[in-house]
Structure 1
Amino acid sequence: MKEDAYYLNQKANDLLESENYKEAIEYYLKAIEFLPDEPIFYHNMGVCFMMKKDYFNASKILQEAINKNIGLDETIIYLANSLYELEDYRGVLSLSEPKGYKERLDILILKVKSAMKINNKDLALQIIKMLKVSGYESQELDLIEKMII
């Protein structure tokens, strides 16, 4: 059973690579039937939904991967991007920050943009300061800061 689930997941990954998203999702669902608590299956299926630009389902599935303790920073970034595309800016702001340096910077930038979208300039400035303390500099960040001040 376990081997079958991982085989189906690999088959789905191959289909994802060839951009056959609909069939890939079917294989991920079959893998989940065998091993419903395996978070990587949800992560992979969430990526598939993102590739289809189906951000609603991507966010639901990626959140499920996080709930199942996937432990991949990448999952949080994908979830943040999906929520941002759905204009769920408060959802983006509620996410925990990944442990990896690059991933943490990526999500903080999305959080700055989300704070600006909901007109929370104080929060945006606070996040910008965190980014700068981390050593991050960019024209985009400088432009956002100038818009606030």
Structure 2
Amino acid sequence: MDAVKLACATCGQMNRVPVEKLGAGPKCGSCGEALVDGRVIDLDAKAHDKATKGDELPLLVDYWAPWCGPCRQMAPEFVKAAASLKGQARLGKLNTEDNPQIAQRTRIQGIPALVLYKRGREVARLAGARPARDIVAFVQAHLG
């Protein structure tokens, strides 16, 4: 595979990115927003559905809510994991309080919940707050 499709979380445009350019901070061809920059992507319902179904790079989604203490506690660790996984996977967050229909459809029973998607399919789940090293290890274990 010499290129992967990635959904822009800002405008929803699907982008084809050469694999060798994933570490170089590719930008959306439509709006210019960064596609893979080692930061956590804030997902709304539309961006969530487009990315989980269309991304060809693994996508780890943190399902969380602002009132959840463990979610807030894990947030800086999730940011560290995103930086460590730059070019290998994208990490995104979906606020389940703002998007209850997605939490219900994806069968989120408790938060924080980490769900790894690969090529349009859910491949693994991890429940509870985790340190960055555990998040990175979880994703890397499912990359192959």
| Same fold (TM > 0.5) | no
**What is the TM-score with the length of structure 1 in the denominator?**
0.31
- Greater strand content: 2
* Bigger relative contact order, structure 1 or 2 (CA pairs below 8 A, ≥6 apart): 2
- Normalized per residue, which structure has more helix? 1
